[in-house]
């Protein structure tokens, strides 16, 4: 072989070697990067090239895949009772991507999860059509419907949790939306529906249960009472407090008002003050505790935690770090800068009901392949322990007094132990907005079954009357508790 031909041969071999290295680099090292590239439309086409797995509630699918046999998309996502379950499932759209469980569990639902490799390979060898796996939720359909129907045309949210395990039994946000209306890619229909939802001032696509934070109002007094017991300020629910009338916010000339001048709040016991929701009593307790102790207790419940995942990530509930003494007094009654999601307040009630142990809230109990083989099963985990068991029992006494003798009477259920706390949270510039009505509660039956519930209704009353939480939100919570306990 002469020298020029040898050089050309070597050059060609180098090119072939470079091509092989590059091919292996792209197919191996960079495979995931290219596969997840937002400009790779094959991902979207493949997602709808075969039936997508389902999201399951109590053994029944609340999603389905409709065969459309389009040029690029063979299937389109659809939902059963879409508005009822949208806060749980999210949406999966050919044009607008996906959210919530449809997004977070896409690997299982689309069948691309690496844990399904063996099943997919076997199906390919046998010629069976590829199909996504299923995601089994913890939702109780009766509780979900009770919350949805109870909220009706109101703006608000409800969350129900099993205190012993952390399983989320209801997750509702209203107004809601039907994900089926924009699941395809037709601008004339899907695009119009999407635009209308985006422009709706009532924000139906906002998951208020997880993504909206509200001033918790008097429901936060549960956290304040917990901090008082845990720090040794009081020993019994019937201990009297040193609460003057009037009570002037520290460092100011501003009087902290109760809902009514007739409320028996001067030197009231913790029990009586919780039952009628005395701002002066719990505001003074918060100021006496100080911002750091109160914040530390709030954080044990999950406030200021930006990684509360169920697996959908909830917005962080907020307790301020730098409040002045008068601000701390207002923080202690759920005003000022304190904000919480409905999930967070359900977690507070759950920890109290579970004798001081807060379980990690979760929404997915099981992932499984299309042939029903279990891929993963959730095991309950402890989130924290905000209080000692004896403190939790004192809080239970306080909450049960609210329902028996105080502002939460409309949550009473025959034959069931119910504890609760009403709240009416002011908001807006100079508290000009209509208040939010809250009810945070738990219920236990004689067989040991229990449930914790938080309900918030936006613009729930035309005045700052504390009873609005008891009259508007408490009946909704009651219906959810009855649904779970079959009462």
Q: In angstroms, rounded to a whole number, what is the distance separating the alpha carbons of residues 45 and 75? A: 10
H-helix or E-strand containing 79? strand 75-79
Given a contact cutoff of 8 angstroms between Cβ atoms, the answer to whether 356 and 363 are in contact is: no
Please state, in angstroms and rounded to a whole number, the distance separating the CA atoms of residues 286 and 290.
6
**Cis amide leading into 175 (omega within 30):** yes
Rounded CA separation 289/329 (Å): 9
φ, ψ dihedrals at 456, nearest 5°:
-130, 140
Q: In 305-449, at which residue ranges do the beta strands (DSSP E only) sit? A: 358-359, 364-368, 374-377, 382-384, 417-425, 436-444
Q: Pairing relation of β-strands 156-161 and 97-98?
A: unpaired
Which residue in the list 92, 173, 180, 218 is annotated as catalytic?
218
Alpha carbons 114 and 481: distance in angstroms, whole number? 40
Fill in the DSSP letter of residue 28: I
CA–CA distance, 429 with 388 (Å, rounded to integer)? 39
At a CB cut-off of 8 Å and minimum separation 6, what does 303 contact?
A: 295, 316, 317, 318, 319, 340, 344
CB 358 within 8 Å of CB 385 = yes
Encode 101-116 in three state secondary structure: HHHHCHHHHHCCCHHH
Q: For this structure, is 180 an active site residue?
A: no
Nearest to 380 by CA among 357, 362, 403: 362
Structure-block tokens of residue 440: 């945070």
Residue 122 class from Cβ within 10 Å (0-12 exposed, 13-18 middle, 19+ buried)? exposed
For residues 73 and 43, is the Cβ–Cβ distance under 8 A?
no
Alpha helices in 263-388 (DSSP H): 270-276, 279-289, 291-301, 325-331, 342-353
The 10 Å Cβ neighbour count of residue 259 is 20
Residue found by looking up tokens 């949790």 in the block: 161
Instruction: Return the active site residues.
Output: 218
């Amino acid at each position: 072989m002469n020298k020029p031909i040898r050089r050309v041969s070597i050059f060609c071999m180098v090119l072939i070697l470079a091509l092989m290295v590059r091919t292996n680099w792209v197919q191996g090292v960079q495979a995931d990067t290219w596969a997840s590239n937002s400009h790779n439309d094959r991902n979207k086409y493949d997602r709808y090239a075969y039936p997508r797995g389902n999201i399951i509630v109590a053994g029944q699918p609340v999603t389905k895949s409709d065969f459309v046999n389009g040029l690029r998309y063979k299937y389109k996502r659809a939902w059963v009772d879409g508005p009822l379950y949208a806060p749980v499932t999210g949406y999966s759209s050919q044009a607008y991507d996906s959210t919530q469980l449809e997004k977070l569990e896409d690997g299982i639902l689309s069948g691309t999860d690496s844990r399904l490799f063996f099943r997919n390979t076997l199906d390919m060898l046998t010629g069976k059509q590829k199909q996504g796996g299923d995601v089994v939720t913890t939702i109780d359909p009766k509780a979900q419907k009770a919350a949805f129907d109870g909220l009706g045309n109101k703006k608000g949210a409800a969350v129900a949790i099993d205190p012993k395990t952390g399983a989320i039994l209801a997750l509702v946000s209203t107004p809601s939306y039907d994900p089926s209306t924009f699941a395809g890619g037709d601008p004339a229909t899907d695009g119009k529906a999407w635009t209308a939802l985006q422009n709706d001032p009532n924000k139906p696509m906002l998951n208020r249960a997880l993504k909206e934070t509200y001033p918790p109002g008097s429901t936060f007094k549960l956290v304040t009472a917990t901090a008082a017991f845990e720090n040794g300020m009081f020993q019994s629910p019937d201990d009297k407090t040193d609460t003057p009338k009037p009570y002037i916010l520290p460092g100011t000339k501003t009087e902290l008002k109760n809902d009514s001048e007739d409320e028996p709040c001067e030197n009231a016991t913790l029990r009586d003050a919780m039952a009628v929701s005395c701002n002066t009593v719990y505001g003074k307790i918060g100021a006496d505790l100080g911002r750091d102790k109160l914040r530390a207790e709030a954080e044990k419940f999950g406030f200021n935690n930006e990684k509360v995942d169920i697996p959908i990530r909830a917005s962080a509930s907020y307790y301020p770090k730098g409040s002045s003494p008068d601000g701390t007094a207002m923080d202690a009654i759920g005003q000022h800068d304190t904000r919480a999601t409905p999930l967070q307040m359900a977690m507070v009630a759950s920890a109290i009901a579970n004798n001081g142990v807060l379980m990690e809230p979760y929404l997915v109990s099981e992932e499984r392949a299309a042939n029903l083989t279990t891929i993963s099963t959730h095991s309950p985990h402890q989130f924290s322990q905000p209080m000692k068991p004896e403190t939790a029992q004192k809080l239970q006494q306080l909450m049960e007094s609210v329902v028996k003798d105080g502002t939460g009477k409309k949550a009473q259920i025959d034959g069931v132990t119910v504890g609760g706390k009403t709240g009416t949270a002011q908001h807006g510039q100079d508290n000009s907005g209509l208040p939010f009505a809250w009810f945070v509660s738990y219920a236990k039956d004689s067989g040991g079954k229990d449930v914790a519930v938080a309900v918030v209704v936006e613009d729930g009353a035309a005045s700052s009357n504390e009873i609005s939480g008891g009259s508007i939100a408490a009946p909704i919570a009651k219906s959810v508790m009855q649904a779970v306990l079959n009462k």
